[in-house]
Amino acid sequence: MKRFSSHQNMYASFLNFKHDQIHSLHIKPSSCSFNVGVYVFNADLWREQNITRQLEHWLELNTREEIYGSGRAEGGSQPPMLIVFYDKYTPISPLWNLRYLGLYPKARYSEHFVLRGKLLHWNGPYKPWNGVAQFTKLWDKYFIPDPSGKFVPVRKMQLKGAKQKS
């Protein structure tokens, strides 16, 4: 699998392979993982294979035995999805979840590449609605204001400028 990032692309980044439950699954630690933030699934097969119950099993087990713990992927949905769908998925183009736009304040991808993205994912501390992020103008272009008016992006850059003027 071609890697577009050096961040957490292997199962070893998410699972504790020293734990008996994980070891018994015969998952290869060096297997390329997938990001569960964007996926397409067949709802009929999901129900037939009782996927929800399988996921619940691994979530519950982790709360008792820390098979992937809280330090790996914050103990969230990524590890159990990797377990349940190991060797049972077809990768989609990374352009459908262009990740890591929020890990660094400056661009690490070319603008040409990002413009080809279908879903832009600003995971990490640098968010475009805070004004300190890469490709903020692109996010602005597609931002749809909250109709209730409760969410309004506040830019740190704007705040700094406002304080200096007063």
Decide if pLDDT at 4 tops 70: no
Residues of the chain above pLDDT 90, percent: 38
Decide if pLDDT at 162 tops 60: no
Decide if pLDDT at 5 tops 80: no
Task: Name the band, by pLDDT with cuts 50, 70 and 90, for residue 7.
Answer: low
What's residue 1's pLDDT? 36
Q: What is the pTM of this model?
A: 0.69
d(CA 146, CA 148): 5
Which are the contacts of 6, defined by CB distance < 8 A and separation ≥ 6? none
> Which comes out higher in pLDDT, residue 99 or 154?
99
Task: Name the band, by pLDDT with cuts 50, 70 and 90, for residue 164.
Answer: very low
What's residue 70's pLDDT? 58
What's residue 165's pLDDT? 41
Mean pLDDT of the chain: 83
